Amino acid sequence: MKAAVLDQSEFSLRIEEVLIPELKAGQALIKLKAASLNHHELWPIRKKSRLANFKIIPGADGAGEVVDIAGDVEKSWLGKRVVINPSLNWGSSRNVFGNNFEILGYPKNGTFAEYIAIEERYIYEIPLHLSYEEAAAVPMAGLTAYRALFTKGLLNRKSKILITGIGGGVAMWALTFALKMDAKVYVTSGTDAKIQKAIMAGASGGVNYKNVNWRMELQEQAGLFDLILDGAAGNGFEKLLHLVKAGGKIINFGRTAGAIPAFDPQLLFRKQISIIGTSMGSDDEFRSMLYYILYHKIHPIIDSVFDLEQVQTAFERLKSSEQFGKIIMRI
Ligand SMILES: NC(=O)c1ccc[n+]([C@@H]2O[C@H](COP(=O)([O-])OP(=O)(O)OC[C@H]3O[C@@H](n4cnc5c(N)ncnc54)[C@H](OP(=O)(O)O)[C@@H]3O)[C@@H](O)[C@H]2O)c1
């Protein structure tokens, strides 16, 4: 089969011919029709991981058709359109994943390939209103946004929320989910055009985080926020402490802009702010998220669709931060 293979000894990502994976007990073989890209996949492309040099098929997100099953797998899966939950071995706690947690595609082979063998418990029927390409846009970013907003953020209809870096995949899902709750959503972006797109999608406003006074501009426009979702961290993070209401929450799920410089803790304790970290989500949250998508007939915002052979071009687009919504690969 054809697959995009990452060679960490030289940080190359090439299309290669590899063997179709063999089914093990409890697994289904999926003929993948679409995959989507996540920022998460950029880290091992840029930087050597703690794991030794090796070749791997990356990709957390994938959707396709079940074409074969192991003897102990429910027969009715055959021929079904499925989407894969890439949040593997979550564990027993609702609060945090356990020691054996991993994300599909690193270090286990992922979805940038024509086939994948995966445990039955990680496959879910695709909501009928979604195409394969739309379904592939859901898993990692959708699950992260769902847990951040609902489990950790306890979003409700009265919430006024800020989502930073709206061009990102998780941010796009957070916007889409929050609007279905009739929450009042504001955004930041490094590109004015993306703020306009977010407003057209239903956001109430936004500012460009490259403007020197963006914090004050946003405060004048929107006041303070009950909940802030942030996947950037970095220098801008301290401003979020000013922008959140007293008693409010900041949920962080990423570090696209790097480490958070020192800040005065007075802001934190006087305003009694909760800063909460979150990552991916449990099997239950994945299932609930799919119901939410089905119930509200949600379609993801898709930025662009490439063929698997164009994997490098697709990653160039992700790296450039030009995207608004998910970048998909058709397989
Ligand atoms: N913890 C988890 O489970 C989990 C899961 C998924 C992702 N993540 C992490 O979350 C982050 C986003 O992932 P993604 O896949 O959604 O990324 P993505 O689609 O590559 O989006 C990255 C976005 O970050 C925004 N950004 C860059 N610099 C920024 C800054 N200084 N301030 C605010 N926003 C900034 C940009 O938004 P604009 O284009 O609008 O400027 C950019 O489009 C990454 O760090 C990723 O590793 C974590």
Q: What is the DSSP string of 278-314?
A: --S--HHHHHHHHHHHHHTT----EEEEEEGGGHHHH
Question: Which residues does the chain have with pLDDT short of 50?
Answer: 52
User: pTM of the entire structure?
Assistant: 0.96
pLDDT at 52: 45
| CATH number among 3.40.50.720, 3.30.300.30, 2.40.50.140, 3.90.180.10, domain 2-138+300-330 | 3.90.180.10
pLDDT at 158: 83
pLDDT tens, 72-81?
Answer: 999 999 999 9
Beta partners for 230?
Answer: 252
pLDDT tens, 89-134?
Answer: 999 999 999 999 999 998 899 999 999 999 999 999 999 999 999 9
pLDDT at 240: 98
pLDDT at 66: 98
Ligand 1 centroid – CA 233 distance (Å): 9
Residue nearest to atom 20 of ligand 1 (CA): 39
Residues 290 and 269: their CA atoms lie apart, in Å, by 37
| CATH number among 3.40.140.10, 3.40.718.10, 3.40.50.720, 3.40.640.10, domain 142-277 | 3.40.50.720
Please give all residues whose beta carbon lies within 6 A of any atom in ligand 1, as ranges. Answer: 38-40, 140-141, 144, 164-171, 188-191, 194, 209, 231-232, 234, 236, 253-257, 279-280, 318, 321
DSSP annotation string for 199-248: HHHT--EEEETTSTTHHHHHHHHH--EEEEEES--GGGHHHHHHHEEEEE
Coil vs helix vs strand at 175: helix
Provide the b/e sequence for 279-311 (b: ≥16 CB within 10 Å): bbbbeebbebbbebbeeeebebbbbbbbebebb
pLDDT at 48: 57
Per-domain residue ranges for the chain?
2-138+300-330, 142-277
